[in-house]
Amino acid sequence: MVGVFLFFLFVFMPAPAKAATSTLRGWAWWGDTLQKVYFNCLDDVIGDRLDVDYNLDSLPVPRGFHFYSSPCQYTNHKVEINSQGNFSGKAWNATKGFISFSGTTTPPDGYGSTSSNCPATCNSSNQCWACYDDTDQNVYGWAQVDDDGTWLKLDSALTPPVKIQSCGSSVWPGYGVQPGDFVGYATSSLGDLSFNCKSESGSDMCATRDYKVVIGNLTVGNLSAPNWPYSAACNSTALGATLRWCKKSGTQTAYEVIVSSTNSTTTPICYSGKKYSTDATQYNLPNLDPACSSLDYDSAYYWWVRLYDEYDQPTDWYQYNTNSVSDTDNNRDGLNLTFQTYKHEFPSPYFTWSPYEVLVGTSTLFSATSSQYSPHGLDDYVACSGANCTYLWTVLNDPGSTITPDDEATTSIVFSLAASTTINLVVTDSIGYYCSTSTIIRINYGLPIWREIKAR
């Protein structure tokens, strides 16, 4: 019955999609006269909302009382950022009209600020004027007023220029900027365009007019794996991985993770199921989830994650695609879509010493009784022998001690200090996997030899 359930679950599980497009919401503030610039028609104020500050000033011409109209009925527009970081679409201002974030007209710098800083191509060939680089959280490029051609420079010289809070360090520390929030200024001949009241006049402006531009939908970023260093392999198992992600914007209420040995979600070896959590950012392997099998040694795996928003709607599946030689698996297969497990379990270091009471200036024999993963591929440990293991002995807080030799299974150590001293042993197997163990030993002075002398 369990097998039938899992088959049904996996067969009807949707295939992965590209990372979701980011849809902007909210409004910016343009100078002292132009005021609100709306980035999505769902936020436009064009009805009879007379209780809203500045409502009459922000209404389209002719000024005065306007009856309510449904959002996007007359000004259907929005600004988006695609999965490669390129902007598209239009914002809207009651006085200047539509403001385009993409087009073919050559900007004032001839695409200099965009083509040199954008993660993907951004020029007239794909009608791109502006982009976002997640590595530095900066926005680069231009926007343009449709009617009169006024240019707005997004990567301005003002502090801060336009930035988006992502998974990195805060773009405006100390002011509660949330993931997905914009901060900073664009510049134009008609005045500066402020994207967040918190980055204007030290956030004092928020008391009189509260505004910001945000990424409105739930998006995911910074997928990483396997995050399984030698310490984790030594302390638990080599067959482990920690799959991590971050919420770049929006509200998270749940998540799902899929792990597969093929580049498809239809035949996973591990499915987390829908797990409710507002702040989860990782999924650990191994675990006790019933639809999650154990990993295999020396194997490559693909993985995906998707989150659920406050309306219980899922994002697209985000696929891990950033494996590199700097990751804990060293990207052995050279593919950025997979992470790799270790080839086998790591050695298990252990040692004893004699005599048990250790004295200053006397020789103490230390013997490694370590074990290693079976060289015959069996899933068990065997005693280290011959060239299968190498050793390194160190004394951590007795610089005057002598170790003879320091690279064999058995060594003699003479200590120079009477103190609590740490002895460390590193055991490395035949392919270079290593683990260490340490023991603190109390080193004592030898008792003096007393001889009774008869009184004269």
**Higher pLDDT among residues 400 and 452, named by residue:** 400
DSSP label of 18: P
Q: Is 164 a residue whose pLDDT tops 50?
A: yes
Domain-located, residue 147: yes
Q: What separation in angstroms does the CA of 72 have from each of 21, 65, 364?
A: 19, 19, 84
Q: How far apart are CA 388 and CA 367, in angstroms?
A: 16
Listed in sequence order, the residues at least 6 apart from 308 whose beta carbon sits closer than 8 Å to its beta carbon are 218, 252, 253, 254, 255, 274, 314, 315
DSSP label of 212: B
Q: Is 5 a residue whose pLDDT tops 90?
A: no
- What pLDDT is attached to residue 75? 82
Specify whether the CB–CB gap between 369 and 353 falls below 8 A.
Answer: no
Domain-located, residue 451: no
Which domain-ending residue is among 196, 215, 234?
A: 215
Please check whether residues 44 and 12 belong to one and the same domain: no
- What pLDDT is attached to residue 2? 40
Please check whether residues 48 and 121 belong to one and the same domain: yes
Please check whether residues 35 and 64 belong to one and the same domain: yes
Q: Is 377 a residue whose pLDDT tops 50?
A: yes
What are the tens digits of pLDDT across the range 94-138?
Answer: 999 999 999 999 999 998 878 889 999 999 999 999 999 988 999
What are the tens digits of pLDDT across the range 35-85?
Answer: 899 999 999 876 544 444 444 555 555 555 545 567 787 789 999 999 899
Listed in sequence order, the residues at least 6 apart from 423 whose beta carbon sits closer than 8 Å to its beta carbon are 351, 353, 366, 393, 394, 395, 396, 413, 438, 439, 440, 441
Please check whether residues 159 and 223 belong to one and the same domain: no
**Higher pLDDT among residues 150 and 6, named by residue:** 150
User: In 148-158, which positions are buried (b, 16+ CB within 10 angstroms) versus exposed (e)?
Assistant: eeebbbbbbee
Please check whether residues 85 and 158 belong to one and the same domain: yes
Please check whether residues 331 and 254 belong to one and the same domain: yes
Domain-located, residue 456: no
Give the CA angle between residues 124, 130, 132 to the nearest 5°: 130
Q: Is 16 a residue whose pLDDT tops 70?
A: no
Confidence band for 386, pLDDT divided at 50, 70 and 90: confident
Please check whether residues 314 and 390 belong to one and the same domain: no
Q: What's the mean per-residue pLDDT of the chain?
A: 87
Domain-located, residue 128: yes
**Higher pLDDT among residues 373 and 164, named by residue:** 164
Tell me the percentage of the chain whose pLDDT exceeds 70: 86
Q: Which DSSP string do the residues of 82-136 spell out, in sequence order?
A: -TTSBEEEEEEETTTEEEES--SSPPTTTTHHHHTT-SS--SGGGT--EEEETTT
Please check whether residues 294 and 162 belong to one and the same domain: no
Count of domains for the chain: 3
**Higher pLDDT among residues 387 and 8, named by residue:** 387
Q: For residue 427, what are the β-bridge partners?
A: 391, 435
Q: Kindly state the average pLDDT of the residues 361-374.
A: 90
Q: Is 239 a residue whose pLDDT tops 50?
A: yes
Q: How far apart are CA 250 and CA 55, in angstroms?
A: 27
- What pLDDT is attached to residue 207? 83
- What pLDDT is attached to residue 313? 95
Range of the domain at 59: 22-215
Q: Is 364 a residue whose pLDDT tops 70?
A: yes
Q: How far apart are CA 99 and CA 347, in angstroms?
A: 63
Please check whether residues 44 and 133 belong to one and the same domain: yes
Q: Is 278 a residue whose pLDDT tops 70?
A: yes
**Higher pLDDT among residues 7 and 179, named by residue:** 179
Domain-located, residue 345: no
- Provide the CATH number for the domain around residue 431: 2.60.40.1080
Q: Is 15 a residue whose pLDDT tops 50?
A: no
Which domain-ending residue is among 340, 361, 383?
A: 340
Q: Is 325 a residue whose pLDDT tops 50?
A: yes
Specify whether the CB–CB gap between 435 and 348 falls below 8 A.
Answer: yes
Classify 20 as helix, strand or coil: coil
